[in-house]
Amino acid sequence: MSAALLTLDAVKALLDITVDDNDEQLTAALPVVTEYFENYCKRGLAYVEGVVEEMGVSSRLALFRYPVAEVTELQLDGAIVAALPRIDKQRGFVHVSGGCCVALVARVTYSGGFPEDEVPADLADAYARAVADYAGVSYAAAATTGGGAPLKSLGLGSGALTVAFETGAVGASYDTSSVPPLLAPHLFVLDHYRLKDYV
């Protein structure tokens, strides 16, 4: 089970929940919703120290936790690399040069993910709302979000809900048929943190 992106107290503060009646349900929902978010984004969002990942060697090693806080060790075929190569912390890559053609296995020890006090506001708000929704706990509807883009269209066909927003000159649409209903209201936010295919 994943580490929680935010603590129970942080979720309650974001949603202005002042009673303790539902703490057990909310606490149980924290790691589950983190799993939902991380599976959809294809990367680890919650901060974890001392993560060890093994992978085949290429010129760019993609790490699961995002963003990368610190790489403490890199091994290529069991040999520790003395000078760490360039690390792209924002995209979660370790750029390996030189021995990548002869080494077969890389082992990276690092810390990554968003520390609780650094979780972006939009992600924190979406996470808190999803935790409450999963736990079945009601909260103030206008908790922390500002206004949104006006709805351009709403479609339902073949079991797929398609929502399109008018965001100025460019419209944005989201097909929610391939995601759990819990995530559907948060796709706009989650797509920003989802792993992209960088060249």
Q: Quick: pLDDT tens for 157-183.
A: 555 555 555 555 444 555 656 778 899
The mean per-residue pLDDT over the stretch 111-140 comes to 95
CB neighbour list of residue 151: distance below 8 Å, 6 or more residues apart: 163, 164, 165, 166
> Nearest Cα to 41, choosing from 29, 33, 49?
33
pLDDT value, residue 84: 86
| Confidence at residue 170, expressed as pLDDT on a 0 to 100 scale | 47
On the CB side of 185, CA atoms within 13 Å amount to 13
More confident residue, 171 or 127: 127
Kindly report the pTM of this predicted structure.
0.78
Question: The tokens of 64 are what?
Answer: 């699961």
pLDDT band at 3 (very low <50, low <70, confident <90, very high): confident
The confidence score (pLDDT) of residue 145 equals: 44
- How does pLDDT run across 11-28, given as a tens digit for each residue? 999 999 998 999 999 999
The DSSP string of 15-37 is HT----TTHHHHHHHHHHHHHHH
Mean model confidence pLDDT for the chain: 83
At 65-110, the pLDDT tens digits run 999 999 999 999 999 998 888 899 888 889 987 545 577 999 999 9
Of the candidates 149, 144, 114, 151, which has an alpha carbon nearest to the alpha carbon of residue 129? 144
- Which range (34-38, 85-89, 98-102, 194-198) has the least confidence? 98-102
Q: State residue 181's pLDDT score.
A: 87
Quote the pLDDT of residue 151: 47
| Whole-Å CA distances, 194 to 89, 91, 167 | 15, 11, 20
Distance of alpha carbon 5 from alpha carbon 59, whole angstroms: 30
Cα angle: 58, vertex 62, 68; to 5 degrees = 135
- Does residue 22 come out as left (phi exceeding 0), alpha (psi in the -120 to 50 range) or beta? alpha
